[in-house]
């Protein structure tokens, strides 16, 4: 075989190239091009990513709230209402937060939060990347439970977002919101130290039950300041941010205990506490004590009045967020005395009205279920003397004069001596003439009733006071009760320091929870005879009437074409000619009407209304003679201030509920403090004293006129219709007031240093209190009870005469100078108006009036 030459080149193994040839190009060149394009594309993608990231960062950053400087970190905090002696009487807030300095927060509490919430807090730059990535994958990719991965810095950023954007947007579970939170956290880390971030976080974090920040939580769960927390208390609070409701020690104590164990374990693992400390704290019982509702438990009507005034002046947002300090004029001791006196008085008068019947009557399963609930509400052995409770009548024994009652599992006796008042309501019958003699006439088995635990001595005193039985008829038992009921009657009280203008106490009704209607301000009621001092003061001021002026107390009928009116005295009798002094002291109606007619004849039909307005009443006084007897309505607040004008001898000045308002920085926004106020700093008292000296006086009445009225009302409170006020044991003046059928009953009275008005009645005039109830019998005891406590150990001076007054020894019946040895009273007169020998000879002033309607 002959070899032939090949057309293709021959290659030996050494000649084989290392790359294949494609399209005529060597492989080396292609790889270089691919590398270059890869690098180019990579750089482009990186740049695009950077640009996209920058755009995304800019977009997400758009609208983010500014990072505040520390001095501008002003989260919403609590507005506090403070009584005169520095006690908190009310709190108002959108978020219950009290910011405390970092130095006050105990070290173990800080460690507990770091161990449980962010163990790498002092190492990262605001974001825990691994934790965030893990949480994002679980939440958004694997769709597992929503998992948090937020650092303390991010949580702080979240609270800033919530404050700026609202709770809904600031907590929305979205990637966008999370990224915005991350950006804000990085800005926080750049702006503040770790300790400063911790301070903001610990004062801002939500910890359940309206608690924002650790100070609020310490108060809310343990009734103590944050610096006083123990290790187990600090660990429990530090475990709350993850799920405040789920770990609530009130609602879920077992879950709270388990969460606390986790926090303690983490603290031990981080070397923050020893194993012994961990074990001891973990074994402690979860015991929490909720913060008192000071608003409802202290003085709700008073504080609500102040709240309305603050909202009117500063707006509701500022009240709820700006942490105002409102220093009230309320004297807490007097306020409590007023509330106690009102409650006692309402119950006593309500008892005299009769028993409205049991709350319900239960049998069978319904009764068993109720007794089970009562056992939980009042466990056996927990009822103390004076406590109110609900019980069920088990059995009636009229022979023994008792009802056996059950309060849950406890058994006791309700003797007839504890329920003699419980007659059927009938305002026309005096309650003492209808005392209950048999238990079965009022109650039966299964009746659900309100009870109060008492000692036997109280029941004995009741029997003696009513002369209804003998003390030996009161049984002996471990549990003795009286029958009670929720009063339908209402009342109000206003007490004013006439010189400082401070409203030291105010009660607007029986129960704020049942009705927020404030009867001291919002109820316009007929004042009855409590209006008469206004009538007589106008006559003394405008017509030169004196205590010796003779007024005729005789029947008179006023008629027009369609109607007639015949005013009557309370006792349905007439005394003939009487002095003004006698007419006012004994609250006689006909002389008051005739005095109003004299004003009408001399000064016009608007004279009385204009005078009342000058003294401080803003409610209209009807141009009718019945206004002299209190037919035109007034509110207790204004009428009390009119009596304070009398107390100040005619000087009119405002009364107020607020002494000072300070902002969260301690700057004074308004100041009405009096220079005599011992609770006000000395520097401010000096300034107030200077202002008092230069303050323009508004004298709306001649001081001599006012003094004459005060002296006459002084006699009302000693020998007149308000004589019971003499039991105060201090110089006092006042006036009773009772309207027809006793729908409204009043006592308005004052000492030199305290003016107080009391009203009792029903909100709706459907049933009267009856003819046996008067201002002196219903309202005056409340006034006396309160004033006795308010002025305990506080001597009161006698009312002193101003210049231009002369005292005259006067015959109280005739108004003439009294003969030596004759019955006489000393009465004040303006110099030149006093009775003289000529008056004694029969030329004394006498007011004759005609039938106005006939005219």
Active centre residues (catalytic): 117, 529
Record the tokens describing residue 274, joined without a space.
Answer: 């020893």
Selection from 688, 706, 586, 689 nearest residue 644 by Cα:
706
Looking only at the bridges linking them, the beta strands covering 658-662 and 325-328 are antiparallel
Beta bridge partners of 325: 80, 662
Selection from 828, 827, 825 nearest residue 805 by Cα:
828
Looking only at the bridges linking them, the beta strands covering 805-810 and 825-830 are antiparallel
CB 348 within 8 A of CB 494: no
C-beta atoms surrounding 226 within 10 Å? 24
Measured between alpha carbons, how far is 423 from 743 in angstroms, rounded to an integer?
20
Measured between alpha carbons, how far is 708 from 834 in angstroms, rounded to an integer?
12
Measured between alpha carbons, how far is 267 from 345 in angstroms, rounded to an integer?
58
CB 330 within 8 A of CB 84: yes
Measured between alpha carbons, how far is 742 from 734 in angstroms, rounded to an integer?
19
Element (H, E) at 579: strand 576-579
Record the tokens describing residue 778, joined without a space.
Answer: 């219903």
Task: State the residue for tokens 């074990």.
Answer: 279
DSSP letters, 662-692, are: E-TTS-EEEE---TT-TTS-HHHHHHHHHHH
**Burial 588-604, CB ≥16 within 10 A → b, else e:** bbbbbbbbbbbbbeeee
Selection from 643, 394, 293 nearest residue 496 by Cα:
643
Measure Cα distances from 634 to 75, 102, 533, 594, 758 in Å: 44, 54, 14, 22, 13
Looking only at the bridges linking them, the beta strands covering 360-361 and 447-454 are antiparallel
Instruction: Kindly give, in sequence order, each residue whose CB lies less than 8 Å from that of residue 283, ignoring residues fewer than 6 positions away.
Output: none
How many helices (H) and strands (E) would you count in the chain? 26, 29
Per-residue DSSP letter, 450: E
Task: Note the residue count of the chain.
Answer: 855
Record the tokens describing residue 613, joined without a space.
Answer: 């307005």
Measure Cα distances from 627 to 39, 205, 616 in Å: 102, 61, 16
Residue 32 has, within 13 A of its CA and on its CB side, a CA count of 5
Residue 120 has, within 13 A of its CA and on its CB side, a CA count of 14
Rounded to a whole number, what is the distance in angstroms from the first to the last CA of the chain? 169
Record the tokens describing residue 553, joined without a space.
Answer: 């107390």
Selection from 239, 242, 241, 215 nearest residue 229 by Cα:
215
Q: What is the largest CA-CA distance in the chain?
A: 187
């Amino acid at each position: 075989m002959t070899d032939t030459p090949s057309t293709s080149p021959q290659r030996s193994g050494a000649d084989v190239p290392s790359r294949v040839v494609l399209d005529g190009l060597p492989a080396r060149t292609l790889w270089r091009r691919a590398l270059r394009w890869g690098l180019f594309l990579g750089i482009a993608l990186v740049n695009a990513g950077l640009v996209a990231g920058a755009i995304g960062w800019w977009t997400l950053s758009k609208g983010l709230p500014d990072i505040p400087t520390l001095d501008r970190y002003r989260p919403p905090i609590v507005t506090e209402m403070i009584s005169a002696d520095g006690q908190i009487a009310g709190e108002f807030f959108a978020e219950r937060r009290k910011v405390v300095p970092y130095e006050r927060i105990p070290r173990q509490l800080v460690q507990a939060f770091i161990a449980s919430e962010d163990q790498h807090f002092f190492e990262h730059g605001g974001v825990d990347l691994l934790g965030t990535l893990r949480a994002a994958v679980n939440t958004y990719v694997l769709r597992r439970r929503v998992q948090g991965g937020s650092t303390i810095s991010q949580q702080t950023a979240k609270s800033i977002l919530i404050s700026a954007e609202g709770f809904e947007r600031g907590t929305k579970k979205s990637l966008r919101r999370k990224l915005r939170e991350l950006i804000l956290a990085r800005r926080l880390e750049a702006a503040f130290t770790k300790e400063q971030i911790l301070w903001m976080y610990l004062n801002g974090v939500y910890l359940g039950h309206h608690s924002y920040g650790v100070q609020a939580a310490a108060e809310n769960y343990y009734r103590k300041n944050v610096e006083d927390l123990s290790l187990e208390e600090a660990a429990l609070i530090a475990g709350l941010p993850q799920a405040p409701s789920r770990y609530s020690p009130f609602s879920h104590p077992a879950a709270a205990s388990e969460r606390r164990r986790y926090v303690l374990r983490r603290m031990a693992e981080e070397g923050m506490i020893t194993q012994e400390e961990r074990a001891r704290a973990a074994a402690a019982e979860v015991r929490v004590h909720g913060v008192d509702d000071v608003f409802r438990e202290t003085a709700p009507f008073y504080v609500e009045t102040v709240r309305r005034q603050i909202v009117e002046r500063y707006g509701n947002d500022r009240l709820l967020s700006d942490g105002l300090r409102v220093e009230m004029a309320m004297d807490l001791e007097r306020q409590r005395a007023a509330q106690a006196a009102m409650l006692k008085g309402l119950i006593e008068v309500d008892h005299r009205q009769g028993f409205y019947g049991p709350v319900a009557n239960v049998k069978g399963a319904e009764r068993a279920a109720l007794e089970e609930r009562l056992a939980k509400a009042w466990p056996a052995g927990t009822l103390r003397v004076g406590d109110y409770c609900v019980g069920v009548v088990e059995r009636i024994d009229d022979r023994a004069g008792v009802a056996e009652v059950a309060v849950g599992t406890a058994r006791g006796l309700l003797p007839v001596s504890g329920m003699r008042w419980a007659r059927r309501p009938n305002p026309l019958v005096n309650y003492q003439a209808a005392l209950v003699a048999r238990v079965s006439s009022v109650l039966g088995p299964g009746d659900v009733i309100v009870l109060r635990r008492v000692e036997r001595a109280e029941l004995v005193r009741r029997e003696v006071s009513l002369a209804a039985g003998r003390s030996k008829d009161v049984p002996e038992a471990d549990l003795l009760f009286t029958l009670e009921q929720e009063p339908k009657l209402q009342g109000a009280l206003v007490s004013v320091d006439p010189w400082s203008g401070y409203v030291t106490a105010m009660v607007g009704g029986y129960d704020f929870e049942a009705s927020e209607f404030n009867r001291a301000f919002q109820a316009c009621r007929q004042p009855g005879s409590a209006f008469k001092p206004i009538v007589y003061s106008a006559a003394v001021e405008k017509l030169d009437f004196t205590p010796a002026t003779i007024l005729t107390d005789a029947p008179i009928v006023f008629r027009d074409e369609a109607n007639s009116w015949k005013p009557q005295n309370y006792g349905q009798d007439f005394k003939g000619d009487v002095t003004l002094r006698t007419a006012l002291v004994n609250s006689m109606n006909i002389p008051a009407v005739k005095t109003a007619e004299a004003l009408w004849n001399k000064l016009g039909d608007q004279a009385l209304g204009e005078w009342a307005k000058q003294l401080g009443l803003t409610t209209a006084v009807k141009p009718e003679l019945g206004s002299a007897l209190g037919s035109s309505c007034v509110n207790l607040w204004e009428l009390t201030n009119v009596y304070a004008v009398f107390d100040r001898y005619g000087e009119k000045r405002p009364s107020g509920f607020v002494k000072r308002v300070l902002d969260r920085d301690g700057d004074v926004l308004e100041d009405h403090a009096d220079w005599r106020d011992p609770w006000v700093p000395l520097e401010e008292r000096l300034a107030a004293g200077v202002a008092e000296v230069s303050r323009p006086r508004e004298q709306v009445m001649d001081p001599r006129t006012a003094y004459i009225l005060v002296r006459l009302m002084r006699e009302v409170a000693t020998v007149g219709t308000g004589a019971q006020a003499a039991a105060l044991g201090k110089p006092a003046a006042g006036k009773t007031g009772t309207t027809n059928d006793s729908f409204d009953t009043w006592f308005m009275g004052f000492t030199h240093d305290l003016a107080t008005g009391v009203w009792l009645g029903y909100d709706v005039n459907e049933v009267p209190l009856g003819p046996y109830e008067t201002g002196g019998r219903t309202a005056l005891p409340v006034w006396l009870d309160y004033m006795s406590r308010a002025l305990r150990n506080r001597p009161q001076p006698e009312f002193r005469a101003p210049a231009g007054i002369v005292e005259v020894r006067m015959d109280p019946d005739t108004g003439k100078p009294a003969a030596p040895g004759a019955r006489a009273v000393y009465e004040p007169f303006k110099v030149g108006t006093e009775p003289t020998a000529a008056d004694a000879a029969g030329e004394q002033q006498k007011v004759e009036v005609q039938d106005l309607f006939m005219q």
